[in-house]
Amino acid sequence: MIKKKISNGSFQQAIEEEFVKVLNLGNFESAYLFSDEGLPLIDLCGRGIVTVDDASQIVLLTKGALDVFDEGKTERSVKEVLFYVKDRRKVDIRYFHALDQEVTLVLVIPPGKSYRSHANRMIRFLSHIATDV
């Protein structure tokens, strides 16, 4: 079971609670949400295979590559990047608008687990929270 980090803001607490529910289903080992500047907003690390520092580095490194695709465009062209790791884990990176900014969701998926519907659930939840803030 994932332990929820203590937070101050009520909307952040609601997001963390929803993320913990999804992580406890077992389809994700870790979930991280980063602001447009690359700062961690939500940090839920289950097994510690990919730490928040690792996820932050991945986000910053891929941001440079994605900027090549977005040259001269006002909206991000790439919505998702999926890494297949040697030990059959996947690292899914989703880019979308929530909480009045562009955010990045990083999910670590254990071998053999489905993830897309749960990731979409998290994104829908975040988009809904953003309209209520």
- Residue 81: other Cβ atoms inside 10 A: 17
41 touches 99 (CB < 8 A): yes
Q: Does domain 10-132 have CATH number 3.50.50.60?
A: no
Q: What is the DSSP letter of 8?
A: S
Residue of 5, 10, 14 lying closest to 122 (CA atoms):
14
At residue 44 the predicted structure's pLDDT band, cuts being 50, 70 and 90, is confident
Q: What percent of the chain has pLDDT over 90?
A: 29
Q: What is the pLDDT of residue 13?
A: 79
| Residues β-bridged to residue 45 | 30
Query: Does the pLDDT value for residue 34 go beyond 90?
Result: yes
- Each residue's pLDDT tens digit, 95-131: 998 888 889 999 999 999 999 999 999 998 888 774 4
Measured from the Cβ of residue 35, the count of other Cβ atoms closer than 10 Å reads 14
Q: What does the pLDDT read at residue 20?
A: 87
